[in-house]
Amino acid sequence: GLMLTTALAAPALAQDDQPYQLDEIVIYYGALGTKPIDAKSYGRSVTVLTADQIQQRGYTDVRQALSAIPGVAIAATDATLGSVFLRGGESNMTVVLIDGVKASVGYNGAYYMPGLDLSDIARIEVLRGPQSVIGGANAASGVIAITTKSAETEGLFQQAGIGYGSYGSTHLSYDLQVKGARGQLAIGVSRDHDGGFDVSGDHGVRDQSTISTLSVKGQYQLADWVTIGMMARRSYQSYDFDALSDSATTADAYVIDADMTGKRGESFGQLWAKFDSLGGRLEHKLSYSGVDYRFATYNSGVSLGANSSQHRALDYTATYALDADTVAEARQTISFAAQEETDHFRRPGSSFVYARTTRSLAAQYSGSFDSGLGIEAGVRRILNDDFADATTWNLAASWEIPSTALRLHSSIGKAVVNPDMYEQYGYSPGSFTGNPDLKPETVHGIDLGAEWRFSEAGSLDVTLFQQRISDRIITAYVPPTYAATVLNAPGTATARGVELSATYQVSPQLSLAGSYTYTHARGADGERLARRPTQVAALSATYQMLQGRASTTLGVQHVAGNYDTEWFNAAADYPTTKLPDYTLVNLSGRYGLSDRADLVARIDNLTDVDHSAAWGYASAGRTGYLGLEAKW
């Protein structure tokens, strides 16, 4: 009804019959093949956040930037761990890509965003809804694609940053990008130390974190028809965390101050080659990637054990131009893909390595037409070693209604989520046992939206969505010891809601950006799903001063209707209850000392609000930061 009413009214909204010009935004990870898709013909729900927007809005880290995007909820239990819940799905239902390499392939199928320095990020794409055709198994709630910076023009470019914040927090970063006639190279190194806060909330020892990251990526054009490339990324993190009390009966006593430490290592790598045939009408890409994770924890220096996981993937894609001589010129393409993925997992205290292999074949059609219509349709067949084979699919459409400022978009699809390695084979004596007989979860999703460009300075997008999860994997407690295990729950869990995003350039000096998400997420028995806030609203206002030399941004986020499981309340069978609502205010600013150097400052949680995304865990109070950034 909303879309129909808007569509009928739209002709009257055109101003002086002048055409509306959409921003030239392309989606790099929204297609199966190698050709980017124009956002105005893309039917799926997507948000693109560029480096300029990240800088302008004063985001402090990747999780803060993501939390301002519609449909995204971040549940952070401390400064180093934060789960991403997209459209009410589980954290392992979102595929996270870093420069095209799957990062969400650890032992539990989720990625917590550690070690990601915002100064090195060029863009973030968030695709919402089932994306299994392009993302493979587990891309059930969506895909988050993070791209690091590369040189945009020929020459040598460098940037560096240094900063100091509350409780001795420090930041150091250096990035180099060079581009020549046939090749380019980008190198980034950073070190971030977070002075932290006491996660237990007992005003004890602050839980600190230090992350060091080195990344390298490059490509070289061997000939007019072939280009090769690589990427490598290594991140190492040491961090503190607090213990959980077995005897606690209240949230305040559940997380206790303790001398617990952890070490986390991440290694990514990829080699790839792109080559043309048929005079550029058929494009190919072949890649091989690997991801290694290792986690180890300690209590007062004594090892509590470590687990490690590895992921290897061999991918081939081909894109054929249906209506032009080259893929670059084509408005209609068809793409094919073949993939083999292998996972390995070793649990703490064991030398045995569990392994499984998944293979898949996929095809997708993409087309855009002069009528304003855009279509994507795809299918993927997933062949599992350990589970039943599955077929997933997507269908999406976008329509720019002629002579109006309105674009309608909709998508529907099916995806599967394979049990992660820990759910299958994880083990902790007396507290957890995995279940090797688990079945994959199945997710069906649909959305329907309308984007209205009410002037060249502003836009509004409203999307209704629903996703249904069957064979949902849940945690169960088995008597007499009540050790936890996992199983497939009967029935269907449902998440539905609305996503709203808007931008408006009020004046040459003042710009506004806002988002709102309402999510109604329930299990098959009607219980609320934990850590999926019912309402999240975010607004940022940026004001430019001194002829653009200085700017300040005020950001406000309100979270309401968030629920979490009371894991300390065994007497009531671990109920899921409501957390307090909260509003966070962040203030940031930037001043150009010269054409090449900026002074940056920010205050997070300006009003020093007590808040929490999980029972028993405290969050940071007011913190400040002052830094210097230079480019040359």
Contacts of 385 (CB under 8 A, 6+ apart): 356, 357, 358
pLDDT of residue 79: 63
pLDDT confidence of residue 574: 85
pLDDT (mean) for 246-252: 89
Give the pLDDT score at 371: 93
Closest to 334 in 3D by CA, of 31, 27, 75 = 31
Q: What is the pLDDT of residue 348?
A: 77
Mean pLDDT lowest for which of 5-19, 181-195, 337-351, 387-401? 5-19
**What is d(CA 191, CA 173) in angstroms, rounded to the nearest whole number?**
6
256 pLDDT tier (thresholds 50, 70, 90):
very high
3-state secondary structure 587-611: EEEEEECCCCEEEEEEEECCCCCCC
The DSSP string of 111-144 is ---TT--GGGEEEEEEEES--HHHH-TT-SSEEE
The mean per-residue pLDDT over the stretch 233-239 comes to 94
Q: Is 63 helix (H, G, I), strand (E, B) or coil?
A: helix
Handedness of CA 70, 488, 566, 80 (dihedral sign): negative
Average pLDDT over residues 550-576: 92
Report the pLDDT value the prediction gives residue 80, as an integer from 0 to 100: 64
Q: Does the structure show a pLDDT above 60 at 16?
A: no
Tokens 């220096």 correspond to what residue? 301
pLDDT of residue 394: 95
The answer to which of 8-12, 510-514, 614-618 has the lowest mean pLDDT is: 8-12
| Rounded average pLDDT over 389-407 | 95
Q: What is the pLDDT of residue 417?
A: 94
The mean per-residue pLDDT over the stretch 231-258 comes to: 92
Q: Is the pLDDT of residue 620 over 60?
A: yes
Residue 101 scores a pLDDT above 60: yes
- pLDDT interval class at 63 (50, 70, 90): confident
Percent of the chain with pLDDT over 70: 95
- pLDDT at position 232 over 70: yes
For 303, other C-beta atoms within 10 Å of its C-beta total: 11
Predicted pLDDT at 482: 67
What's the start-to-end Cα distance of the chain, in Å? 53
Which whole number is the average pLDDT over 541-546? 94
Mean of the pLDDT values across residues 43-64? 87
Of residues 115, 112, 123, the one with CA closest to residue 55: 123
CB of 438 closer than 8 Å to CB of 419: yes
Question: What mean pLDDT do residues 187-194 have?
Answer: 94
Percentage above 90 pLDDT, the chain: 72
Q: Quick check: bond before 533 cis, omega within 30?
A: no
520 within 8 A of 497, measured Cβ to Cβ: yes
Q: What is the pLDDT of residue 284?
A: 97
Residue pair 534/551 in contact by the 8 Å Cβ criterion? no
192: pLDDT strictly greater than 90: yes
pLDDT of 604 reads 94
pTM of the model: 0.92
SS3 73: strand
Strands 597-604 and 563-565, how do they pair? unpaired
Average pLDDT of the chain, as a whole number: 90
**Listed range (16-30, 440-454, 480-494) with the worst mean pLDDT:** 16-30
Query: Distance from CA of residue 69 to its chain's centroid?
Result: 10
* Highest mean pLDDT: which range of 80-94, 346-360, 527-541: 527-541
Pick left, alpha or beta for residue 62 (phi over 0 → left; psi -120 to 50 → alpha; otherwise beta).
alpha
Mean pLDDT of 299-320: 93
Of 34-38, 232-236, 589-593, least confident by mean pLDDT is 34-38
Mean pLDDT, residues 590-599: 94
pLDDT tens for residues 65-78? 898 899 999 887 77
Lowest mean pLDDT among 129-133, 474-478, 523-527: 474-478
The DSSP bridge partners found for residue 121 are 148
What pLDDT band is residue 112 in, cutting at 50, 70 and 90? Answer: confident
